[in-house]
Amino acid sequence: MTQDQAYAFAILIGLMVAFIWGRFRYDLIAVLALLTAVFTGIVPHKAAFSGFGDDIVIIVASALVVSAAIERSGVIEAFVHRVAPKVTSLQGQVVILVGAVTVLSIFIKNIGALSMMIPVAFQMARRSKAPASSFLMPMAFGSLLGGLITLVGTSPNIVVSQMREELTGRPFNMFDFTPVGIGIAAAGVAFLALGYRLLPRDREATPTMEKALNIKDYMTEARVTATSPVNGKSIRHLSALLDEEVLVTGLVRNKVERMISLPDPILCQGDIVLLEGDPQALERGIRRARLELEGHNRSTEAKGVDEEIAGIEVVIGPKSVLIGQTAKRLALHERFNINLLAVSRSSKRFTERLRDIALSPGDVLVLKGDLVLLPTKLMELGLLPLAGREIRLGNPRRGLVPVVVLAGAMVLTAFGLLPVATAFFTAAVLTVLLGSLSLREAYEAIDWPILIMLGGLIPVSESIRTSGGADLIAGGLAQLASALPLYGALAMIMVVAMAATPFLNNAATVLVVAPIAVTLAQRLGYSPDAFLMAVAVGAACDFLTPVGHQCNTLVLGPGGYRFGDYWKLGLPLSSIVVLLGVPLILLFWPPV
């Protein structure tokens, strides 16, 4: 063993120990590993930061932005809302949610697909009085299965494609993963449709700051538009389009206010309905009924750029100048360039217009304005911002625009007209230019720690290969594999990747295991493609722990799960992946 190989193995072992220890975050561990590799000389100084300019980083960041834009569009949520009420059985609801997340993960990053569907799962759980724990872990696993099907579905596919290009001169294309991925995903979803019964049904979600706030009785106003499906229909028809937690409390027609009474009045264009509910439920209902939120389109000129205009929740302090005033009397918009979108007061149901409500200490308001100037305005008005949570009320959506942009990027890459990095970077920029995301939302959508980790570990991974460390490890594995048939060798490398993922993070696992898999294939006299596919599948399928993949971590608190719960559902699913994945790889990517 040479000195460089000794350094490479020491860094690799230290990397794994640090990941397992968990004392430091994975991006910091990656940076420390990079610095160690540079100072020991196994990574040249000129190549130290090459990883941050790698196509892998650009593709992952761009895919996250496009995924966020599609989540923000509400298109999928609207589709599920149409289908879900027709399914009443718990098993049917699990199939719909898991199936929807799996299909979404084919086209967008699996973490984005899961994030999009978690609120829908909670709505379905409340409607059917079922525990959310029956839905969330199967959905997380479904998102991992769906990510296997295309290049952009999950980070391991992106990383293994780029590593194939570096090692063999040819990357995997957008749909090269599809034949193997579809077979595994179909079998996995079929198992989850039954396997959810293995999960505990008596768990409660870990309380969050948003739950602690528990503000559900906001009152807001929305106007009936010419294109609204409730134009010419009754109040009862509108209520059917709204979430169950949203109530219609009043109607304003021709500037005359009245309570809703029977028989149901027929809504007309220009009518203003008074709605009460949670901000997120209000936003969904207003979008679904194609109403126009009152006040959202009044100009709130920003000193910087329009992207800084957003909603915020505040509470009226004891010395606020708003006490005893109304928004109309105080000329809140004209004087302070702030729009009042909603008001909440404990145990109080408002029937008057927003602008006519006499405000009191402790009232909670949703305001819209320039985020750069809002802190100064809030201090001037004596308002206290609440703990941050995303408020989309009053922010317009762009419907099918991001879906069309994503479809265009996938077509361009599928036909080889543009490289994946260029196509998805262009798609990310277009989602911002076309208004599907603001710049602030685009930057927030990017998982910066993951990008730092990738940028740091790419040179380290390369050093393990160039120092000959991968050859040594592959030699040891080759001795084991020599006594195994071909499918046994593939299964071994898939299990190695699957076992390493909980400790290294899935993208890091590919960076470490893929060079070893290629060297092993060459020693055994096989084409490396099948072994790279095995690494991609194994690294993407961590069903055993809540820490190996972000999707698993995302549902840990909301589902009230414990560490051991993942084994109950994940171990049989992992077995299915190995038993089915290996023959599918041999069928579609024969290594001989």
- Tell whether the model's pLDDT for residue 304 goes beyond 50: no
Cα end-to-end span (Å), the chain: 31
What pLDDT is recorded for position 209?
46
The mean pLDDT of 446-453, rounded to a whole number, is 84
- Tell whether the model's pLDDT for residue 388 goes beyond 60: no
Q: Which of 35-39, 541-545, 569-573 has the lowest mean pLDDT?
A: 541-545
Average pLDDT, the chain: 82
Higher pLDDT, 4 or 258: 4
What pLDDT is recorded for position 214?
54
The mean pLDDT of 444-463, rounded to a whole number, is 84
Measured distance CA(13)–CA(21) in Å, rounded: 12
Measured distance CA(445)–CA(561) in Å, rounded: 26
The mean pLDDT of 481-500, rounded to a whole number, is 87
Confidence of residue 583 (pLDDT cuts 50, 70, 90): very high
Task: For residue 341, give Cα distances in angstroms to 260, 296, 535.
Answer: 21, 7, 51
Q: Provide the b/e sequence for 34-67 (b: ≥16 CB within 10 Å).
A: bebbbebebbeeeebeebbebbbbbbbbbbbbbb
- Tell whether the model's pLDDT for residue 239 goes beyond 70: yes
* Distance, C-alpha 341 to centroid of its chain: 27
Q: Which of 84-98, 141-155, 301-315, 492-506 has the lowest mean pLDDT?
A: 301-315
Share of the chain above pLDDT 90, in %: 18
- What element of type H or E holds 309? strand 309-316
- What element of type H or E holds 258? strand 256-258
* Alpha helix segments (H runs only) across 84-109: 90-107
* Alpha helix segments (H runs only) across 129-269: 133-147, 155-168, 178-195, 209-213, 235-241
Higher pLDDT, 263 or 157: 157
Higher pLDDT, 88 or 3: 3
Instruction: Compute the half-sphere exposure of residue 157: CA atoms within 13 Å on the CB side of its CA.
Output: 31
Enumerate the β-bridge partners of residue 174.
none
Predicted confidence (pLDDT) per residue in 397-443, tens digit: 556 788 888 888 888 887 778 888 898 899 999 999 988 888 888 88
Task: For residue 283, give Cα distances in angstroms to 91, 369, 442.
Answer: 29, 17, 20
Residues 6 or more apart from 384 whose CB is under 8 A from it?
314, 315, 316, 317, 378
Predicted confidence (pLDDT) per residue in 139-171, tens digit: 999 999 999 999 888 888 988 998 888 877 888
Could you give the 3-state DSSP secondary structure of residue 142? helix
Residue 183 tokens read as 């077979």
Task: For residue 28, give Cα distances in angstroms to 19, 34, 389, 453, 531.
Answer: 10, 10, 27, 7, 30
- Tell whether the model's pLDDT for residue 42 goes beyond 70: yes
Measured distance CA(100)–CA(135) in Å, rounded: 12
Q: Which of 25-29, 372-376, 401-405, 515-519 has the lowest mean pLDDT?
A: 372-376
Confidence of residue 253 (pLDDT cuts 50, 70, 90): confident
How many residues does this entry show for the chain?
A: 592
Predicted confidence (pLDDT) per residue in 505-559, tens digit: 677 788 888 888 888 888 888 889 999 999 999 999 989 877 667 788 778 777 8
- Residue whose pair of structure tokens reads 């961590």 in the numeric block: 542
Measured distance CA(328)–CA(343) in Å, rounded: 14
The domains located in the chain, with CATH, are 60-206+399-445 (no CATH), 216-277 (3.30.70.1450), 306-385 (3.30.70.1450)
What pLDDT is recorded for position 569?
92
Predicted confidence (pLDDT) per residue in 198-231, tens digit: 888 766 655 554 554 555 678 888 899 888 888 9
Predicted confidence (pLDDT) per residue in 90-131, tens digit: 888 899 999 989 998 888 878 778 877 887 788 788 777 888
